[in-house]
Structure 1
Amino acid sequence: MPKSLHSKRHLMIAAALAEQRRSKGLSQAQVAKAFGRHQPFIANIESGQRRVDLVELLELAEIIDLDVLALVKQVMDS
């Protein structure tokens, strides 16, 4: 089993977060500020260099209005 940091599923989550952020017209800095972190934190998630745990995913999804259930289904079906 491949390491999850660089797995296809991990990269799908990272890409979905970045795509949704951009579709909402938000910068990484804006999301980071709302999340209480610095911009590189968001950049590392979106680039696949940092894993997102479930609580972080839920909080980020709330900030960028991402449907987590739909994302999970998409990832599971891949």
Structure 2
Amino acid sequence: MPKTIYKPEHAVLLILLKKHRKAAGLTQVQCSKALGRPQSFMSDVESGTRRLDIVQLRDLCKVLGIGLAELVEEFELSLLAEGSSAAHDPA
């Protein structure tokens, strides 16, 4: 099984995070600062070189002004819209 950062679903998540950061009017630097992280944090997240655990994702959602459940729902809908096999394969 490939690492999640190499799965197409991870790319979808990154697109959504970047979309919500921009919609919130935040730069990567501002977002990182709001999280109390170094400037490179959001750059690494959005480039896919840094993975987030569920607590970090929840904190990021708060900064972006979106609920975690809302993000997950949007993520699932995006996967369905793309016809991703992961949306149909829980493994």
Distance in 1, matches of 2:13 and 2:67, equals 12
1:62 aligns with 2:62: yes
Amino acid at match of 1:50: R
1:24 aligns with 2:24: yes
Report how far residue 7 of structure 1 moved. Answer: 1.2
Give 2:83's aligned residue: none
> Residue 50 of structure 1: SS of its match in structure 2?
coil
Check the 8 A contact 1:45/1:52 in 2, yes or no. Answer: yes
Gaps of 5+ in 2: 80-91
Distance in 2, matches of 1:23 and 1:14, equals 14
Give 1:13's aligned residue: 13
Runs of 4+ in 1 over 4 A off after TM superposition: none
1:37 aligns with 2:47: no
- Report % sequence identity: 35
Report how far residue 74 of structure 1 moved. Answer: 3.9
Distance in 2, matches of 1:27 and 1:74, equals 22
TM (norm. structure 1) is 0.86
Report how far residue 38 of structure 1 moved. Answer: 1.3
TM (norm. structure 2) is 0.75
Per-residue CA distance 1:34-68 (angstroms, 9 max, x = gap)? 10011211101011111111000000000011232
Distance in 2, matches of 1:23 and 1:73, equals 18
Amino acid at match of 2:19: E
Check the 8 A contact 2:16/2:75 in 1, yes or no. Answer: no
